[in-house]
Structures are given as structure tokens and as C-alpha cells.
């Protein structure tokens, strides 16, 4: 089958699924604006949880690299578990941001389409101004969300390196060679938390005006 035809069919299927999804919510009294607000709130919550997960992983890494006796395998497993929780939470953040973008795109498309249905030019112009204002505020929020999302990757890569290294070199000498790494990661996590806090604040402002 022609690749373009396959792509068209896939896009048609996705559009159909979205239509069914929105129609089901509309029957329950929820418009796309309500769904966008809920999606933004969920993204805000996922980011808060991500910040906590990354802090917990750093705490476990500090404990591990500060090893001075005890069950080394157990300490490593706790750190690896926290890293895996970070990976899972980062996936949840990314997924929720995709949902925010999708619902916003569909809301704006619907809004534009419905503006063309007005008979009253004054009402149409007012609605067009409100759409432009809402879209502008959303673009600011979206930039903040994606900036926060991107700050997770450098930390995850560093955590992953520590997990892989210790997996094959779990001994006191290897632990000693990693001392100081936690301090390096601390800076990246601080930047992550600062960006996430900015994004969360931006989400709060957007929710209040939607």
C-alpha cells in the first residue's frame, strides 16, 4: 500500500478517535475548554511529582556514594529503584504535555471554525480577539512546559550512567570513584526544579484565565 495512503488512513483513524473522545465528554457536559483546563492541571501535578522523584533519587545516590559500610547491594538497588521511578515519572510528564498540546490544538481549530459561523460581525471580532489572546497565553505556557520537560533529560542521563557503571562495578573502590558526582547532578536538578516551578506557576496563571 502507498505510504501516503497509509499515513492518511492513520491520521483519519486518529481524528475519528479524537472526535469520539470529545463527543463522549460533551455528552457529560465537558467542552474542550474544560478538558484543556483539566489537562493543564494534570501536567502541573505530574511535574510536581517528577520534582519529588528526582530529589529522592539524588538522596539515594548521595547515600550510596557516601557509603561507609553496610549492604552495598541493597543501597544500589534502592538507588536503581529511584532512578527507574524517575524514568517512569518523566514518561508521565511527557505524555501529559502531549495531551495538553493536542487538546489545545483541537480547541483552537474548533474555535476558529465556529468564528466563521457568526452572523454578527461585532461578536465575531470579539471572539477572534479572545481566541488570539488565549492562544498567545497558551503558547507561553507550552514553551514553559517543554522547557521543563527538556531539563529532565540531562539528569536522567547522568543517573543512568551511574546505574550502568555500578551494575558492573559494585564495590567500595567504584563507589569511591563516584564521590562528587552527586554534587554535579545537584546543579542540574536545581535547574530542573527551578524550571518546573516556573512552568507550574505559568500553568496556574493560565488556568485562572481560561
CB-side exposure of 35: number of CA atoms within 13 Å? 23
Q: How many domains does the chain have?
A: 2
Do 92 and 180 sit in the same domain of this protein? yes
Cell matching residue 89: 515519572
Do 65 and 139 sit in the same domain of this protein? yes
Closest CA to 181 of 163, 201, 202: 163
Query: Structural domain of residue 11, as residue ranges?
Result: 1-30
Do 106 and 186 sit in the same domain of this protein? yes
In angstroms, the CA 72 to CA 167 distance is 11
Do 37 and 24 sit in the same domain of this protein? no
Do 4 and 35 sit in the same domain of this protein? no
Whole-model pTM: value is 0.84
Asked whether the predicted pLDDT for residue 68 surpasses 80, the reply is: no
In angstroms, the CA 85 to CA 91 distance is 10
Residue pLDDT, tens place only, 118-140: 999 999 999 999 999 999 999 99
Q: What percentage of residues in the chain have a pLDDT greater than 70? A: 90
pLDDT of residue 109: 95
Do 100 and 153 sit in the same domain of this protein? yes
Number of helical H runs and strand E runs in the chain: 6, 0
Do 48 and 25 sit in the same domain of this protein? no
- Residues 107, 175 contacting (CB under 8 angstroms): no
Do 114 and 25 sit in the same domain of this protein? no
Do 131 and 202 sit in the same domain of this protein? yes
In angstroms, the CA 92 to CA 104 distance is 18
Over the chain, what is the mean pLDDT? 88
Phi and psi of 28, rounded to 5°? -90, 5
pLDDT band of residue 5 (cuts 50, 70, 90) is very low
Do 98 and 7 sit in the same domain of this protein? no
Do 13 and 50 sit in the same domain of this protein? no
Do 55 and 13 sit in the same domain of this protein? no
Amino acid at each position: 500500500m502507498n505510504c501516503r495512503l497509509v499515513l492518511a488512513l492513520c491520521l483519519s483513524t486518529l481524528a475519528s478517535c479524537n472526535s469520539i473522545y470529545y463527543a463522549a465528554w460533551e455528552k457529560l457536559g465537558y467542552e474542550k475548554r474544560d478538558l484543556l483546563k483539566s489537562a493543564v492541571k494534570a501536567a502541573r501535578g505530574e511535574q510536581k511529582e517528577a520534582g519529588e522523584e528526582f530529589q529522592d533519587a539524588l538522596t539515594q545516590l548521595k547515600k550510596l556514594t557516601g557509603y561507609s559500610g553496610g549492604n552495598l547491594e541493597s543501597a544500589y538497588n534502592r538507588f536503581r529503584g529511584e532512578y527507574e521511578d524517575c524514568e517512569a515519572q518523566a514518561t508521565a510528564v511527557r505524555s501529559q504535555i502531549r495531551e495538553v498540546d493536542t487538546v489545545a490544538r483541537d480547541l483552537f481549530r474548533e474555535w476558529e471554525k465556529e468564528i466563521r459561523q457568526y452572523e454578527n460581525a461585532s461578536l465575531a471580532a470579539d471572539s477572534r480577539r479572545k481566541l488570539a489572546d488565549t492562544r498567545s497565553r497558551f503558547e507561553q505556557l507550552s514553551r514553559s512546559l517543554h522547557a521543563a520537560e527538556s531539563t529532565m533529560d540531562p539528569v536522567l542521563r547522568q543517573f543512568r550512567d551511574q546505574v550502568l557503571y555500578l551494575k558492573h562495578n559494585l564495590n567500595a573502590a567504584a563507589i569511591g570513584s563516584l564521590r562528587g558526582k552527586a554534587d554535579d547532578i545537584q546543579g542540574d536538578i536545581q535547574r530542573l526544579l527551578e524550571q518546573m516551578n516556573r512552568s507550574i506557576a505559568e500553568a496556574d496563571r493560565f488556568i485562572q484565565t481560561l
